[in-house]
Amino acid sequence: MARKGRVGSNPTPGATQYTPVPCGVSGDVISFLWQCAKNGYRSSTVEGFSKALRDIAKHVEINSPEDVKEYIARKNVSEGRKEVIVNCYANYCQWKGLKFGRPLYRRVKKFPFVPLEVEVDALIADLPRKIGFQSADQGDRCKKSLKPHMASR
């Protein structure tokens, strides 16, 4: 006979809701992240802040702005990622009351990859026969419709 009030081997839903604390993260970082969440930052932004601050804390003393600047300068990532890390750490320093001279990192704009006409033709030729004819027909129509516009340049 089953005992009263017992749910079974599985825990009661909602009884185990807790926020796991990442290893090696100080209480200040967790408090900062909680403050960001309370201030309305999206969860994806808070997760990004968490990743950046955990990475910094793993390699240097997080409350030493000069060490953090040096670490970011040496870090082998893109300029855009460095900009994100600096913005995150600047928010942390403002919350903590630390003076942080923000280094300037600018995103480098990359142009999208545009294949050559020969590469497009090779791709169409490798398609199955039924799809290949349709794609080639559409490509020819596209080229014909672009010719008047290209001539006016």
Write the CB contacts of 132 (distance below 8 Å, at least 6 apart in sequence): 124, 125, 126
Q: Residue 114's Cα: distance from chain center in Å?
A: 24
Question: Quick one: average pLDDT of 105-113?
Answer: 84
Domain positions in the chain are: 27-96, 117-151
51-68 pLDDT tens trace: 999 989 888 888 888 999
Q: What is the pTM of this model?
A: 0.58
Q: What average pLDDT does this structure show over 104-129?
A: 85
| CA–CA distance, 92 with 49 (Å, rounded to integer) | 9
Report how many helices (DSSP H) and strands (DSSP E) the chain contains, helices first.
6, 0
135, with CB counted inside 10 A (0-12, 13-18, 19+), is: middle
